[in-house]
Amino acid sequence: MKTKFMLTALLASALVVASCDKEYLDTTPTSSTDVSTLFKSTDEAKLAVNGIAKLMSKQYLGSQGLNGEGTVKMYNGNYQGNHFSVNLSGWAVIINSTYHNNLTSIYCYYMWYYYYRIIGNANTVIANIDDAEGPEGEKQYIKAQALSYRAYAFTMLAQLYCLRWSDSKNGAELGLILRVTPTDDEMPRATLLETYQQIYADLNEAIGLFKSSKLHREDNSEENYVIDVEAAYAIYARAALNRQDYSKAIEMAALAREGYPLMSVAEYNSGFASPTSEWIWSVWGSADETIYFYSYFAYIGYNSTASTVRSYPRCISKELFDKIPDTDVRKDLFLDLADYSDPAYSYSTSTGQANAAWQTAVRGEGKIASNANAYVYMQFKIKAEDQPGVGHLNLFRTSEMYLIEAEAKYFNSDPTGAQQALVALNKDSHRNDSYTCTLTGADLLDEIKTYRALELWGEGFDWFDAKRWGDPIARKSFADGGNFISSLAVTIQPEEKNRWVWFIPSREVDYNKLAQQNNYDN
């Protein structure tokens, strides 16, 4: 990858390490600041780290839908999964995973471009912060944040561009290009084991620095975008689960959720657009720094005025909805056919769109825009705080940590511990006061999978979870008892579609001749 990552002033309030947006391989920045100036003191270096946070919520590559972290959650995690139904037949090539080997497609290289941009920024901070003027604790805290960003980016890239761990021959298969210094030299790919070893090393160092710095972000929602030690634990827990390092996943998940109690039912119903008690780390979003129709919430918020949501609201799969107990508050987050039993209400059995009477009834409830459409099983979980798509995007929360513990304890031969984690998540939180769990064996694993799908619906986990488990994507059409339009009602087996591994994009392999391609279709 021949991109050189330079430091760029952004809105005079944050500094971003970045190359020019107009061309992926353009090595001449549109605006740059001398690195020695930016790292003269810890005060300037803090702005550089905040600039990395800003990279996670900006528009990229001249495309409306490419909006930082939200794009990966929507296009990769939601669209391509089992339980996110949306009437977008024109997106079938993405939703049905047919572009994994399209090396020149923007949808193949966006994730590579975006995460390596974060890595490049982090590398510059890591390489320069030790020489900055300022308190040692501040330097340690800044370096810990940069290391955590790099570990997070490598973790996400490994899930996208590498085999699932269970297929990797204990990590012997191809991993990532481990760029850990500010360089544009050609480099070969490491193994997947070496990739996770780098992630672990970054997080171990980050956690040590966080602790020795004795610094902590402010305990309020305004600073939730700042990576802190609990966020490093959470990244570690997710990476360890992906690596099937279950003991480490259990340890780190428990540490990550300390001080972040599960949110109340009232908070749960507040729209997932602003940090609550259990949000460990999120992407900043505000009306004065909005990217308007480019944002994640303009693509999912049930109340958004953006045309894509108004025309085609996002829906939960019928199969998952039918598994939600009537006593569970999460059932109220989706449009239930049982609430509209009047004969005047009907819907298209090929698209799920409600008829005129039903449309009027739902609009009258004030949840959706007055000119928005209603579809069966549409979601009321995630909203926009401001129009057309303002909101804070959650990255890690305590609920995921309990689910990591449940899954890791199941595979670590601790069914009682897995059951207890599920009870804590569902009953103790009052999401379902009637919840109990005495299941064991395959039934317990199915229960864990069901509640991961339900609890984390719409938050970008669906496809990643199916890949980790080696489960197929199996969507049913309306005719077959589901709620997907026919062009999206497909079955994709784990061994198909290059084993769900995205090809390394041509913009890397054409310029980095040492980068091996990952073709598992042959």
Of 485, 434, 483, the residue nearest 336 (C-alpha): 483
pLDDT tens-place string over residues 210-259: 999 999 998 877 899 999 999 999 999 999 999 999 999 999 999 999 99
The CATH code that applies to domain 6-72+99-245+502-509 is: 1.25.40.390
Confirm if 412 and 518 have CB atoms less than 8 A apart. no
pLDDT of residue 16: 44
- The DSSP output letter for 484 is B
Write down the pLDDT at residue 33: 58
State residue 286's pLDDT score: 87
Rounded CA separation 366/437 (Å): 37
Which amino acid is it at 66?
Answer: L
CB 62 within 8 A of CB 23: no
Nearest C-alpha neighbor of 403 from the set 493, 340, 465: 465
Residues paired with 484 in a beta bridge: 477
Q: So what's the pLDDT on residue 62?
A: 80
Paired tokens of 269: 């119903």
- Chunked mean pLDDT (size 10), the chain, 522 residues: 29 33 30 73 94 93 86 97 97 95 93 97 96 97 98 98 98 97 92 98 98 92 93 98 98 97 97 96 90 92 96 98 98 94 93 95 93 97 95 97 98 98 98 98 98 98 98 97 98 97 94 92 74
CA distance from start to end of the chain:
25
* C-alpha–C-alpha distance, residues 410 and 263, integer Å: 25
Kindly compute the dihedral angle of the four CA atoms of residues 280, 286, 290, 293, in this order, to the nearest 10 degrees.
Answer: 70
| pLDDT number for residue 366 | 92
Give the start-to-end residue ranges of the domains of the chain.
Answer: 6-72+99-245+502-509
Q: pLDDT of 464-511, one tens digit each?
A: 999 999 999 999 999 999 999 999 999 999 999 999 999 999 999 999
